[in-house]
Amino acid sequence: MSTPFPAPDDHIHSESFLRSLMRRQLRLSVAAASTFLLALMGMPLLNYFGPELMSTRIGGFTLSWLVLGVLFFPFVWIIAWVFIRRSISLEETEVQEIDELRQKRSVKKSSVR
């Protein structure tokens, strides 16, 4: 076999790296999902407890129809856009951190030699 397996003490393969990796990404996903679910699950409650408010007419639409039938789509696009931007930049920082770590290590090794 040409390439040896990475050493077990390598930072990438450590428990703490996996933990921080998953936690960071999950936190971002959960934050985005909560925003979305708050709006989505809040709509029926608003309809249930505030029927007068939700039946206010705006240009023929009832408020509740306008929000669900039209405004909800752009709202979700915004969440998706913010999520994608953050998650891509999160991945980039992770890669950067690992690269710096690898560089430090190779510098150390060469100086020992």
Partner 1 sequence: MLLLSAIDPWILAFSLVTVLVTIWMGFRSARNSKSAADFFVAGRSVSVGWNASAISGEYLSAASFMGVAGMVMSSGYDALWYPVCYACGYLFLLLFIAGPLRRFGAYTIPDFAEGRYDSPVFRKIAVVFVLFIGFFYTMPQMKGAGTTLSYIFPGLPYWAGVVLVGAVITLNVALGGMKGITLVQAFQYWAKMFAISLPIFVLMAVYGGYGNNLGVNGDDKSTVYATVAGTNNVRTLSGITNIAPEAQIRAPLPAKAPADNIWLSPFGPLTTKAAKAAKLDNTKSRPYALLYTYSLIIALVCGTAGLPHILVRFYTNPDGAAAKRTTMWVMILIGIFYVFPPVFGVLGRNWMPTLYDGIGVNGTDGIVLKLPVLLREKYGVLGSVLSGITCAGAFAAFMSTFSGLLVSMTGALAHDVYGRMLRPQSTPADRMRMFKFAAVGIGIVAMLLGSLVENFEINFMVGQAFAIAAASYFPLLFMSVWWRGMTVTGAATGMLTGGLLAVGAISLTSWTTFITTQAAKFKSLGISEPTWFAMLKPYSLTDYWAARPLLRILCEQPAIWAVPLAILLMIVVSKLTASRVPTDIRMKMLVLHAPEKLGLKQEYIREHEAHGH
Q: Kindly tell me which residue out of 27, 38, 42, 51 binds partner 1, with binding defined by CB under 8 A.
A: 51
Sign of CA dihedral 106, 111, 112, 113: positive
- Which letter, b or e, does each residue of 23-56 get, where b requires 16 or more Cβ atoms within 10 Å of its Cβ? eeeeeeeeebeebbeebeeeeeeebeeeeeebee
Q: Kindly tell me which residue out of 7, 9, 16, 59 binds partner 1, with binding defined by CB under 8 A.
A: 59
Alpha-carbon distance of 98 to 58, in angstroms, equals 53
Q: Is 10 in the site for partner 1 (CB under 8 A)?
A: no
Helix axes 72-112, 15-49, angle to 10 degrees: 170
Q: Is 101 in the site for partner 1 (CB under 8 A)?
A: no
Q: Is 107 in the site for partner 1 (CB under 8 A)?
A: no
Interface contacts to partner 1, rule CB under 8 A: 1, 3, 5-6, 12-13, 15, 18, 21-22, 25-26, 29, 32-33, 36, 40-41, 44, 47-48, 51, 54-55, 57-62, 64-65, 68-70, 72-74, 76-77, 79-81, 83-84, 87-88, 91-92, 94-95, 98
